[in-house]
Structure formats: C-alpha cells, structure tokens
Amino acid sequence: MKIKFLGGVKSTTGANYLVETKEAKFLVDCGLIQKENVCELENFEPFDYNPSEIDFVLITHSHLDHIGRLPKLFYEGFNGKIYSVLPSRDLAKEILLDANKVIKEKCRDWNLNIDEIYNEENVEKIMAHWLGVNYHQKLNLNDVEIEFFDAGHILGSAFIKISSDNTKVVFTGDLGNIDPLLNRCEELPETDYLILESTYGDRIHLDLERRKDILEDIIEETLKEKRILIIPAFSLERSQEILFEVIDLIEDKKIPKINIFLDSPLAIRILKIYSKYADFLNPEAKDFFLRYDYENLDYLHIVDDEDAYELFESPPPKIIISSSGALQGGKIVNILKRFINKEETTILFVGYQPEGSLGRKILDGLKEVEIDGQKFYVKAKVEKLLSYSAHKDQKGLIDWIYPQRQKIKKVFLVQGEENAKIVLRSKIEDYLGIKTIIPQEKEEVVL
Ligand SMILES: [Zn+2]
C-alpha cells in the first residue's frame, strides 16, 4: 500500500491523502485549506493526481477542512462514489451549500471559475454520488476492506480502518474529546500503521471536569446581574453542544429559565439533522431529542428575521448563541456591533480563536477593535471556556494509542501545527516506544 500526504500536512486544515493499493486508487478526505481566512489561495492549485483516475473517496467527517475541496474534485473530472457514515452526508450538504456563499465572497478575485466550482448544482451532484453507511458496516471495494469507527468528534464522525494485502492502516480524521451529545471515541483497533491527527498534540485541556459548573456559574451571574451573555459558537457541533448544556441545566432545575436566542440559520438547520439522527448520539442526548420538542421550549427562541427585533430589544438577562465561532463573519458580527461596548455584556469564548482573528484580539484583551471598518470600544466582560474543544488533547491521544502500542509499527503525525507535532512525536516515541514520523508535504510512503 502507498500513501501520499497531500494536505493536512503543514497545518491542521486541508486534509487530503492519496492511497494506492494493487487494485485501487482512492482518497481519504478532500478538505479546504483554512488559515487566517475561511479559504486560502492554495485551494485552487492543481491536485497532485488526476481526479478522473480516483476510484472513490472516503470521508472521515463533515467539517469543511475535510470536505471543502470536493466541489473542485468533481469539477475536475472525479466521477466515483463518496463513502462516509450516514449523518455526514446530510451535514456535508448543509456545510457545502453554506460554503458556496462564503468561499465565493472571500475568493472571487482568485479564481475565474469559482462560480462553476462552488454552486448548488455541484453540491447536488456530490450528494448523488455520496453513500452513507453505518459504523462497523464493512465495505469491500476493489482489494480494500474499509470499516468506520465512531470518533466522537462531531455527529457522524469516524476514524477509518483500511485493510489491503495483509496491511492495516487507521486514518484518525479528528478524534473527539468528551462531548455531551456524542458517544465517546471508540477504542483503537489493531493496526500496523496509524495516521494520527495532532491538533492538540502539545496541549492539555484544563477545566474538563468542571466546565459545566463554570458554565453554570457564568449563567448565574448573567441572571443575577441582568447581563447579556453572548456565546460565539461554530454552527456544526459547538452550537448544538452548548445549547444542549444550557437546556439541560434549566430542565435539571440547576438554573432558572432564561431567554436563549439561537441566531445562526446554519446551526438551526444542523440541529434538525441532529434530531433526525438521534440514534447516532449518546443515550442522554438521544433521550433529550425524544423528550423535548426544542422548537416549543418557551425560553428558547430560534431566530429568523422576524425575531431579530426581539433578539436585540428584549431586556436582559438573556443568552445569545451565534456564529461564526471565531467572529470571522456571520450573524455574530451585527450582535457584537450592538453589544460589545456595553458593560452589561459578557462574551464567552468556547472555541479556539485563530491568530489574527477578531475573536483572538478580544480574547487577548484589546480594548479597541475594528468591526466592518468601524472602531468599537470593548466594554464587555470577556470569559473563556476552551475545554469544550472537539479534539483529544495530548493525554487523550496517548491514552488512546496505549493499548495498541506493541502492535503499531509506525505513527505518522498530520493535521497539526509544527510545534504540536514535534512535542507529540517525542511523547509517543519516549512513552509508547513507537517510531513516529512527521511527513513532509507530498511525501509518499510505501507500507
Ligand atoms: Zn473536525
């Protein structure tokens, strides 16, 4: 088996791996490269393979940095099938339709064919080629056996075990931390080689055990001091996760009812997919979706345009959940413009804020920021609760590999910043005694 590392090598995003066996040539993930921007120029460079020669594509999960170059793959001649776990197909449709708008807006000047690549028709074409399977439903394609395992990262996320010609390889995709909605990441099965994500390879999540208590304290303060609590959250997983935590606190009578506004059209559409695929959630979350009709909770306001007035004008205390999580656009921008210069506002960060982003500036304590070219004073109180991260930290990764340490021949580190990979490599080599490689971009290995 040959593996070529084509994306997700130098940074956390853009996952794209070419695998060749005696009888098959296929991809694992085809993601968008995202750094400071939603989309980078490199996304429009030619692929290192001829898309029409690819037999099929396996998708670990539906984050844009794992699926965002699929439209380009089809545009340039791919005509095979895509396989993933069932909910990933529905999620991918929403994510790609949303990406059409965002990518066109940000990258119009870079690519003359952008309208032909990122359009609705192409998304429909992708969906027509996309087949959803269940976890552990084995697929046999050419000379390859494929099995999807629950990665506990977002709804439908998987790590994938590929076996061919007596060689076994596991591609981790992204591996989940502890998520209130999902089942825990499954144990690593026996494998010869491991292609391992390393986003948090050099970090440990603090507050993991106490995060819900801290969230409760922040909401209690919001109630007591009649504050406006703004939670910027990514539309996929984090918004649903935080919403679930807050509703659970209310229904458990840990906190009184408080008006919650969910102001993210994409997060709302995705919430419906969570409800549809409740069987893929953990038992408590499944029970929650069966027990509560979230559309009819009197304190939860799903904001469409007519409700925008209520969102802005209703008196505090109130909670507003909106996207994007790193404040790089989306409906959160208008909300910030309205509330950032008010002392009764609290902004609670629950996700990673990339260097250079507006979110990072506010989190770093800047007192004056620019939003849409306009200057705003930050009078809001700023809080963070970053242990709601959807990735395993260093300890989580090491513990996950440990039971298989004697069977694994080599680990290849991908999808992480350089420093995270270097730190994680020495940890795996010293503590687990497994030879660990940091592949170079476009490097090919023969296993
Ligand atoms: Zn992900």
Residues near ligand 1 ion, CB 5 Å cutoff:
63, 174
Instruction: Indicate if the pLDDT at residue 401 is higher than 90.
Output: yes
* Cβ partners under 8 Å of residue 164, min gap 6: 1, 21, 22, 24, 143, 144, 145
Instruction: Indicate if the pLDDT at residue 354 is higher than 80.
Output: no
Distance 322 CA to ligand 1 centre (A): 19
Work out the average pLDDT over 71-86: 97
Local structure of 356: helix, strand or coil: coil
Instruction: Indicate if the pLDDT at residue 25 is higher than 90.
Output: yes
pLDDT at 340: 97
Work out the average pLDDT over 246-269: 94
The span from the CA of 51 to the CA of 80, in Å, is: 9
Distance 63 CA to ligand 1 centre (A): 5
β-strand partners of 145: 140, 163
Domains identified in the chain and CATH numbers: 2-203+390-446 (3.60.15.10), 211-388 (3.40.50.10890)
Work out the average pLDDT over 178-187: 95
Distance 61 CA to ligand 1 centre (A): 7
In this structure, are residues 251 and 294 in contact, taking their beta carbons and an 8 Å threshold? Answer: no
Instruction: Indicate if the pLDDT at residue 288 is higher than 90.
Output: no
Distance 13 CA to ligand 1 centre (A): 9
* pLDDT tens, residue by residue, 332-341: 999 999 999 9
Which has the minimum average pLDDT: 194-203, 356-365, 393-402? 356-365
Distance 153 CA to ligand 1 centre (A): 7
Distance 157 CA to ligand 1 centre (A): 8
The span from the CA of 27 to the CA of 78, in Å, is: 11
Instruction: Indicate if the pLDDT at residue 175 is higher than 90.
Output: yes
The span from the CA of 353 to the CA of 365, in Å, is: 13
The span from the CA of 69 to the CA of 27, in Å, is: 12
The span from the CA of 172 to the CA of 188, in Å, is: 9
Distance 182 CA to ligand 1 centre (A): 14
pLDDT at 36: 67
Distance 180 CA to ligand 1 centre (A): 16
pLDDT at 304: 78
Instruction: Indicate if the pLDDT at residue 138 is higher than 70.
Output: yes
The span from the CA of 291 to the CA of 232, in Å, is: 27
pLDDT at 34: 84
- Assign 124 a pLDDT band (cuts: 50, 70, 90): very high
In this structure, are residues 143 and 23 in contact, taking their beta carbons and an 8 Å threshold? Answer: yes
pLDDT at 307: 67
The span from the CA of 117 to the CA of 123, in Å, is: 9
Report percent pLDDT > 70 for the chain: 99
Report percent pLDDT > 90 for the chain: 78
pLDDT at 285: 93
**248 phi/psi in degrees, rounded to 5:** -60, -40
* pLDDT tens, residue by residue, 415-433: 998 999 999 999 999 999 9
Work out the average pLDDT over 296-312: 81
Instruction: Indicate if the pLDDT at residue 385 is higher than 80.
Output: yes
* pLDDT tens, residue by residue, 313-332: 899 999 999 998 888 788 89
Local structure of 167: helix, strand or coil: strand
Instruction: Indicate if the pLDDT at residue 166 is higher than 80.
Output: yes
Helix (H) or strand (E) holding 436: strand 435-437
Instruction: Indicate if the pLDDT at residue 104 is higher than 80.
Output: yes
Distance 172 CA to ligand 1 centre (A): 10
Distance 350 CA to ligand 1 centre (A): 15
pLDDT at 103: 85
Between 373 and 206, the higher pLDDT residue: 373
Instruction: Indicate if the pLDDT at residue 306 is higher than 70.
Output: no
pLDDT at 305: 66
Distance 79 CA to ligand 1 centre (A): 25
Which has the minimum average pLDDT: 115-129, 281-295, 360-374, 390-404? 281-295
